[in-house]
Amino acid sequence: MPSQPSTPRGQQTRQKLLDAAEVVFGETGYERAGIVEITQRAGVAQGTFYTYFPDKKAIFIELVKELSHRLRREIAIAVEGLTDRIEMERVGFRVFFTFAHQHRNLYKIVRQAEFVDEDLFRWYYRLLAEGYVRGLSQAMDVGQLRRLDPECLAYCLMGIADFLGMRWVLWNDERPPEAVVESMLAFIRHGMDSHPPTQGQETQGG
């Protein structure tokens, strides 16, 4: 019967386990990762794991949920106050790439979720998509964006972010180079914007 620890010592141990699991799952992959590895890295006995989590999956789920909250919060904070949707995308993408680069392991963990707990995986993307759909719809309503199926657009944008993150952050361990980011932003700007600027003006940002 694992539970929320009532003492600070317990809190700390639980956190050590989460930190260790983040690394181990990220580096080794969920299936190949073992509880032993996690507890060793956390510096506790094997059995201690089960004081805090009922099983291997539970800690994985917790990590994904944590990531979901952190990422969405960071983006929300970063775009707060912005009114131009294109600008929001520029900022949002940058936050995402930075986050992924700083938390490679967490980032890799979500990708695996599809094969660990499909419901969790869908939950993650649906939540992300919901926020997107709201924002995009509003921008369409006020004429900022071309009128397109907002859910479709949301998944397009998430797909772009995901693949650029995979290609540059995961494979090259860097944030996507400026040229790439600018190309991508130009692509989505023209793709979405209802009044795209003329070509000479586009790259002043960034």
**Nearer CB in complex with DNA: 47/81:** 47
**Nearer CB in complex with DNA: 13/112:** 13
Collapsing DSSP to helix, strand or coil, 145 comes out as strand
Residue 111 interface partner, choices a copy of itself, DNA, none, CB cut-off 5-8 Å depending on type: a copy of itself
32 binds DNA (CB under 7 A): yes
DSSP 8-state code for residue 203? G
**Nearer CB in complex with DNA: 20/33:** 33
Radius of gyration of the chain (CA): 20
Non-local CB neighbours of 12 within 8 Å, separated by 6+ positions = none
Strand partners, 145: 193
**Nearer CB in complex with a copy of itself: 76/152:** 152
29 binds a copy of itself (CB under 8 A): yes
Stretch that binds DNA, among 27-35, 141-149, 166-174, 184-192 (CB under 7 A): 27-35
Q: Sort 146 into a burial class: Cβ within 10 Å, 0-12 / 13-18 / 19+.
A: middle
- Whether 109 and 121 have beta carbons less than 8 Å apart is answered as no
112 binds a copy of itself (CB under 8 A): yes
Which residues sit at the interface with DNA, rule CB under 7 A? Answer: 3, 5-7, 9-10, 12-13, 32-36, 44-52, 54-56
